[in-house]
Chain A
Amino acid sequence: MIPLLRAEWRKVTTVKLGWGMLLGAMALAALGVVAQIASNGASGNIALPLSAAATQKSIAASASSAYLFSVVVGIILITTEFRHFTSRPTFLIEPRRGRVIVAKLIIAALVGIIYGVICAALTAAIMAIWLGALGVTIGWIDNGVLLSMLSDLVVIATFAIVGIGVGVLVRNQIAAVISALVYLFVLEPLIEIIPVIQKAYPYLPGAAAGAITGASRGNLPHLDALQGGLVLLGWGLLFAVAGWMLMIRRDIP
């Protein structure tokens, strides 16, 4: 297993893919923090004052938006193998396909965690400087800000794993990335507002992620953080197992 993990890690670090995606994730996280702090107290903004625990947790949850990038990174890590046929030497050297896919899942989760740590650190830095300048104390522990950031990591890593599963299922890189983004940006919000099926909404991956980090949108009843966490991990497991099974059964291109 160690040789496979080293090989998969090298695949990540020897191409440029990572940097662009990471910058995107950082920009989105920073945007979330800045927007929430800047708009706080503006007319029409119903958010509680900056000193409130709920507000601080919500600002900290900005880092979790990196999951939009980590799911794409997961997809790219696996579909790149099919696209450029590096799947061939990979499975020639290790024909036990289950092991390869497990190594891939672990490395994808690790990349997700690294993204998460960097985005959380960026979020924390902006919060500390800006709120400090405004004279607002941050309850890192008391207000659950750190905990919120830790749960961001879980969300981001889980979405990287989901990305691997989606990539194995769809195989075509562009199609897989587009399906994932269309699902998250269009389909899931649609399900949220269609009366008959909206009951299922809280159990969907994006909504579960929102429940964990406290970044939940809308005013439907949603799951609490622990329930959301369990539901999201369930999705991660489902995609990991589906990817694993398909990888073992189907021919390698």
Chain B
Amino acid sequence: MSPEATSIEGRIVATDLTKVFGQVKAVDGLSFSVEPGSVTGFLGPNGAGKTTTLRIILGLAAPTSGSGTISGVTYAHLPAPGRTVGAVLEATSFHPGRSARNHLRVFCAAAGLSDKRADEALELVGLTQAARFPVRGFSLGMRQRLGLATALLGNPRVLLLDEPANGLDPEGIAWLRGLLRHFADVDGRTVLVSSHVLSEVEQTVDRVVIIARGRLIYEGRLADLEGASAGVVVRTPTPEQLSAALAPLNVKVTGRPDGAVAVVGATPEAVGHAAWEAHIEVHELRSGSSSLEETFLRLTADAGDPPAAPV
């Protein structure tokens, strides 16, 4: 990627990011990018390294190697991070004895924003009624909303949200979806949302970055992942020949991250026959899984066992 491309305003880029905690490699050579004007899902099972990756991109943790940038610079070098980037890392960043309004006012002061913003943000996330109550009594869903309000204080053009749907009821998830889509589609902002459940964000995101054990499994449009999920999966030492042999069948052939080939638009019988006729060596041939969630689980499970528990 050229430097100009990296420094596009609002683009998030991770380059060969690695983070080691003692014995645990939480993030392992991870590279991906997130584009402005899209909602990107950052997916992976629990312990995959999502939060750690976000903490590095946000300058809270130092990478062991590699780098994470926003608009082409590391977080610490952003001119006014409080007004350009909004982020929530798990919905737990509140003093239980402080009211929602005072919580926001603390950060209005830090970011040099007027206190009016606190009330506007509360309104935006539907917490106006609870503004004066201490966070102690808030449900997880309310905490998610307050976290989002904190992130939105500075009216940022880049949003990074860690598991924002956790604890939201279906109505809340629908509301969040509308809000995030509006940010991306209407305002052209960059939105990155992490989740360990694909179905939670499936209807919200256009692109996905899927990781497992700290490594990239899939990056691209969700629609293409759906394409890769159906059809036939073939494992062969000569994928190019297979591609050529399948050309007359008018199918779509895509390489999968695990090295196999996904063929959409033909039955397993037709694919097997074409391979046999062309004398192509085949090591595996099976129907692709049907649901997106299954694909997600298989992709992430293929990456191996979850990393060892932290020491």
Residue-wise, chain B 252-279 has the 8 Å CB interface mask toward A (1 for contact) of: 0000000000000000000000000000
A85 with B112: in contact, given A14-B102, A93-B82 (CB under 8 Å)? no
The smallest C-beta distance from A105 to any residue of chain B, in angstroms, reads: 16
> Which residues of A from 60 to 94 have beta carbons under 8 Å from B?
80, 84-94
Q: Verify A15–B98 contact, CB threshold 8 A.
A: yes
Nearest chain A residue, comparing its CB with the CB of B81:
A95
Q: Verify A93–B107 contact, CB threshold 8 A.
A: yes
Q: Is there a chain B Cβ closer than 8 Å to A251's Cβ?
A: yes
Q: Verify A3–B81 contact, CB threshold 8 A.
A: no
Chain B residues with CB under 8 Å of A199's CB are none
Q: Verify B105–A10 contact, CB threshold 8 A.
A: yes
Residue-wise, chain A 226-253 has the 8 Å CB interface mask toward B (1 for contact) of: 0000000000000000000000000110
Nearest chain A residue, comparing its CB with the CB of B96:
A84
Nearest chain A residue, comparing its CB with the CB of B153:
A93
Residue-wise, chain A 1-38 has the 8 Å CB interface mask toward B (1 for contact) of: 00110110011001111000000000000000000000
CA distance A3 to B80 in the complex (A): 13
Nearest chain B residue, comparing its CB with the CB of A100:
B110
CA distance A88 to B55 in the complex (A): 9
Chain A residues with CB under 8 Å of B154's CB are 93
A16 with B97: in contact, given A92-B85, A92-B87, A93-B81 (CB under 8 Å)? yes
Residue-wise, chain B 73-116 has the 8 Å CB interface mask toward A (1 for contact) of: 00110100110010101101111111100110111011110000
Q: Is there a chain A Cβ closer than 8 Å to B282's Cβ?
A: no
Q: Is there a chain A Cβ closer than 8 Å to B61's Cβ?
A: yes
Chain B residues with CB under 8 Å of A7's CB are 106-107, 109-110
* CB pairs A–B below 8 angstroms (22 shown): A3-B109, A3-B110, A3-B111, A4-B110, A6-B109, A14-B102, A80-B95, A85-B93, A89-B107, A90-B110, A91-B60, A92-B58, A92-B60, A92-B85, A92-B87, A93-B82, A93-B154, A94-B82, A95-B81, A251-B61, A251-B62, A252-B55
Which positions in B face A, CB cutoff 8 Å?
A: 55, 58-62, 75-76, 78, 81-82, 85, 87, 89-90, 92-99, 102-103, 105-107, 109-112, 150, 154
Which positions in A face B, CB cutoff 8 Å?
A: 3-4, 6-7, 10-11, 14-17, 80, 84-96, 251-252
